[in-house]
Structure 1
Amino acid sequence: MKPITRGTLAAVVTGIAAAVGATATPAAAVPVPVPLGGAETALGMELPEVAGELPVPVPGAPDGPRYVAGRLLPDRTLPQLPVDGGLPGADVRQPLPRVLGDQFDHAALDAPATEVRTLAPGLSLDAPLSAPDPDGFGLPTTRLPEAAVLTPLVQTVPAADLGVGPGL
């Protein structure tokens, strides 16, 4: 195998591995406990248990410009940048004293971290000249310039669970 062929094959395999690795990284959430044990001891009462999750945003690869026949500039001059992350999560348990007896019930709120998919705004421009016209001796014709703002996008499905139960 020639060195040029081996180099080309290595570049293609490296590019494919980088593309697969870039799409396979999920957004991660970091658990954050809230220590309230010292406050419980100091106040002499039972406090709620609180924990949270903070998402780590992961930028993705932008969708590159698309060339369209008849235009001098590509369709997406400034491409949109995708950023995957998440909404922060929370887990709160509050003890509720029973009216009768020494046992406790609890009220709980569980809102897990959820995925968020976003796209930054982009820009699409077109020049005030057309492509070369063969009927006009190869000269471009003038026309009005075009500009469009690609709208940002936010997609998520938040969820939460609120309940009351026995024990803490």
Structure 2
Amino acid sequence: MTDVLIRPAHPFDAAFAVPLIQATIGAIGLALTGASASVEAERAMLGFYPLRGNRLSFEHQLIVHAPTGEGLGLLLAYPGALAGALDDPFRERLRALGLPGHVESEGTPGELYVDTLAVTEAARGRGIGGRLLDAAADRAAALGLNRVGLLVEDGNPAARLYDRQGFRPAGTRRLAGGTYTHLVRDLT
């Protein structure tokens, strides 16, 4: 698909990006923010989005949109080695809410970790997810990383896309009450 533009995210993208992120990560978003409902998690995420130094910051995102400006999807990715530090603001939030400050960091050192890949429902099936994953590979290479990693929940239809993009299983993880397969795409 050639009629889309991929660009770095900006703080003003929050209204588009945050609901799409929460719709994609679901229970993980609730656990990360200490929220009991998605709308509450989105409110918390809106506060983090324009700030640097956290996993949900605009600084780790690419936005894909149509030439008309309509948002179609996003990629949220960061070096896995930074995952612990990027989760510290969420640990602090949880403790401030009187909750245990436990956040399971997802990224693995040596990889560009794709935290969230999300395409709007109306734009699915148009190759946008593949384009964003290719952009992730380019970003990983530019950072000197030799692989891209992500987690996929059992039964997620996006697993077919990840397989076509060359991702292979590298173990399993438990997060927010779910089991996820860690997939990696070697770039060497």
Same fold? TM cut 0.5: no
Structure of greater Rg: 1
TM-score by length of structure 2 reads: 0.23
Pick the structure with more strand per residue: 1
